[in-house]
Amino acid sequence: MNIRNLLLGSVAAAGLSTGAYAADLGVLTSLDVCDALGLSGLTISSDTNCLQITGEVKYKFTWGDYNLTAPADADVANEADGDVNSLTWMRGSGDPDWASRFDAWIKFVATADSDFGPAKAVIKLKEVNHRTTTNGGAIATGSSDTGGVVMDEAYVSIGDSTVIMAGKKGSILNKGDDVPLNWLGLFISEKNDAGVTWGNSVDLPDGGHVIQVVSDLGNGFSVAGGLEALNADNADTDTTGDFNDGKAGTAVGVIAYAGDGLSAHASFAAGGVLDGTIEDWGVHAGFSGTFDNFKVVAAGAFGNDDDEGDYWNVLGSVSATFDMFTIAGSVEANSNDQWGVGASASAAVTDGVTLNVGGRYLEESAGNDIYQVAASVVAAVTETITITGEVGYVDDDWADLFYGSAKLAWAPGGGFTSSVKGTVNSEDAYKIETEFKKTFE
């Protein structure tokens, strides 16, 4: 109980004990609007609105010799969809490389009560600044950032079980339930940010300027639909810098279930709806379930582009836990005649120490293959400090190499985390990565 509520309670008790002044205390004993709306965290309240403030600041610095450009005669498969395009591992050039990056965002959510449920206005400010230098400066310093502070989100919403949203925000597309369960993951999945995709040539811009509706149907079921990328440019030359040509407006729809150890979804998207011409469309579906000691993941995505044709990508994974041991296996494939497998075994040898061993393999359509085998130990040396060590062997389209890494992670609480990681390999490469992050809410 905070001091304000304690004082108000004391005054109310005093007034009720006298009886004569009890009627004058109604306004003093009313709940704070944030409490009445069930909102907590870092808040500021007025008579009608509760303003929640959340944010994060993250900084990462990397130094070493790890960014040798691929040789001109490297046998690197270049798939039309770019979904694998041969993973490249660290290689040294003899000159240092380094990178400095910070990410920061702050989000304000103002909430008030209405006859239709909570009415909200959301504003999120964001800045990313990333500078990289390779080969000791022989290659020009590059950048990848937002160009200063940008309005990452600015939208309004209203509703409780059914929520209507409009403005600038992220997509409602559900692309989850598709992460492989084995320790190292899978190669195609890794290129797709740990999942399946409807293909890079299937261009379906999402988010941006949107009108969306999300409804909770009860019993774990929900549906969502809307129009997204309403600010996309449909001219021959893209002048927005955000979306590709001819894809003005994307219609999206999602049906999902979550509950009882199960989650599943099917997401649909069609691009170009504003001008009445559907150039691209895609479907993403996934299922994940826990059944006693077993976990199962199954996912697939299918897309079509008027110029490039069809593309599909599927993934399946299962794990089983027996006492201190967990074993897992995964498979993946796509329409580019690429397929991969992965397997791992983990053992919790003590309460704070876990051993992992695993491998993964990819057969590329160009006749090349990539594989990796590795082992790691994760040890929680204190309640706030964790040490991870890993060794492995990789054979890809460039060469074969051995590598080793060690990571120290510190999480003392208060939303603060930090880590330092060092990696070396037999291709004369080394890298030191440091990261610091603080979140607040």
Which pLDDT tens digits describe the chain residue by residue (441 residues)?
A: 343 443 344 434 444 444 444 444 434 334 689 999 999 999 999 999 999 999 999 999 999 998 876 544 444 444 445 456 556 788 888 889 999 999 999 999 999 999 999 999 999 999 999 988 887 765 556 566 888 899 999 999 999 999 999 999 999 999 999 999 999 999 999 988 889 999 888 889 999 999 999 999 999 999 999 999 998 765 433 444 444 455 689 999 999 999 999 999 999 999 989 888 888 999 999 999 999 999 999 999 999 988 888 999 999 999 999 989 999 999 999 998 899 999 999 999 998 999 999 999 998 766 678 899 999 999 999 999 999 999 999 987 667 899 999 999 999 999 999 999 999 999 999 999 999 999 998
SS3 of the chain: helix, strand, coil, percent, to 5: 5, 55, 40
Residue 233 confidence (pLDDT): 66
Q: What are phi and psi of 105, to 5 degrees?
A: -150, 150
CA distance 31 to 177: 41
Give CA 338 to chain center in angstroms.
25
Query: DSSP letter at 166?
Result: E
CA distance 353 to 343: 20
Give CA 217 to chain center in angstroms.
26
- The H or E element containing residue 6 is helix 3-18
Residue 380 confidence (pLDDT): 96
Angle at 138 between CA 134 and CA 143, to 5 degrees: 50
Considering only CA atoms, which of 25, 23, 29, 22 is closest in space to residue 8?
A: 29
| Cα dihedral across residues 66, 70, 74, 80: positive or negative | positive
Q: What are phi and psi of 7, to 5 degrees?
A: -65, -45
Rg (CA), the chain: 26
Q: Which two tokens stand for residue 386?
A: 């964790």
Q: Which two tokens stand for residue 16?
A: 């009720």
Residue 235 confidence (pLDDT): 44
**Side-chain half-sphere CA neighbours of 269 within 13 A:** 32
Residue 137 confidence (pLDDT): 65
**Side-chain half-sphere CA neighbours of 206 within 13 A:** 21
Query: DSSP letter at 272?
Result: -
**Number of residues that make up the chain:** 441
Amino acid of residue 119: A
For tokens 């930090």, the residue is: 418
Residue 138 confidence (pLDDT): 57
Query: DSSP letter at 175?
Result: -
| Cα dihedral across residues 81, 87, 92, 98: positive or negative | positive
Is the separation of the CB atoms in 355 and 332 below 8 Å?
A: no
Q: Which two tokens stand for residue 324?
A: 């201190």
Q: What are phi and psi of 35, to 5 degrees?
A: -65, -40
Residues ≥6 apart with Cβ < 8 Å to 108: 51, 52, 53, 122, 123, 124
Is the separation of the CB atoms in 280 and 250 below 8 Å?
A: no
